[in-house]
Structure 1
Amino acid sequence: MGKPIKPIVEEMLLPFLDAEGFELVDVEYVKEGSNWFLRVFVDKEGGIDIDECGRISEYLSQKLDETDPIPDAYFLEVSSPGAERPLKKADDYRRAVGSHVFITTYEPVGGLKEFEGLLESYNGEELVVRIGKKEHTIPFAKVASARLAIVF
């Protein structure tokens, strides 16, 4: 297999998304059972609707057909990241300050590997998450995954 799929798709899609005012949240190329899925998660200020997802899907599908970079048969899915959107980039973390988050770490930090609470701050080097009355400082390099979390 040649170049990884994710950067190819990002390169194809970013000029269109930027011109249309959309943000590329994530691209996944995963095998589930016997099927491959190319999933593209897109958002914009105020949220994205199904018609916009359809437009993005049509654009990307045409571009993929032109260059045919994926050797396997696959299903293309374009959607919103949803309410529990993943935090991937520095801007995602900055926007999430003041929100409820769920964070896992590669190794224990203060005896914990999972943190669910209010993201108090992010300075590029570390996150501060308040769980109840206690603040936990997490080195950014130790974050395995992070997402917004819904409080019920």
Structure 2
Amino acid sequence: MSYSTLILALAWGALAGYFALRVVDSLVAAGFCVHGLLKVRWSRLSKKVTTGQVKPDVILRLLVRVCLYALFFLVLLQMGDRYVRRTFWFEYVGNAGLSFALAATVMFVFHLRWSWYRLRIYWKISHEYDYAEKRRRTLLLRN
């Protein structure tokens, strides 16, 4: 295995690991949004009077955003795979495949903490009353 193949495997593995993590966390966040929507809908159907509910339009905006993120990173992952296979004749076998898998795993694990942080924010936005508005106001005040 040449150095150029090794560098390509490590670089593409790192990018692919990051893209895969973003696809996974976006799909999990979409699940959180759907759960929040069903929770709000169930409360309305059961005719319980609750004052502290998240607005469905906030959850829908978040759902659309995370679905677009998932689609974007999935397209980037697919385009990168096609480019690497066609241009560099890269195959996911042997030492190159092992280097790719190692780099992808390291990048996936390295960014897992930030992904977990993002998922907690998505959960709070879709499940905690007035969290999205408070967060927006805080971000506006910081800037």
For Structure 1 versus Structure 2, the TM-score category normalised by the shorter chain is under 0.3
Q: TM-score, normalised by structure 1?
A: 0.25
- Structure 2 length normalisation: TM-score? 0.26
Higher helix proportion (structure 1 or 2): 2
Higher relative contact order (CA 8 A, sep 6+): 2
More strand, by proportion = 1
Larger Rg: 2
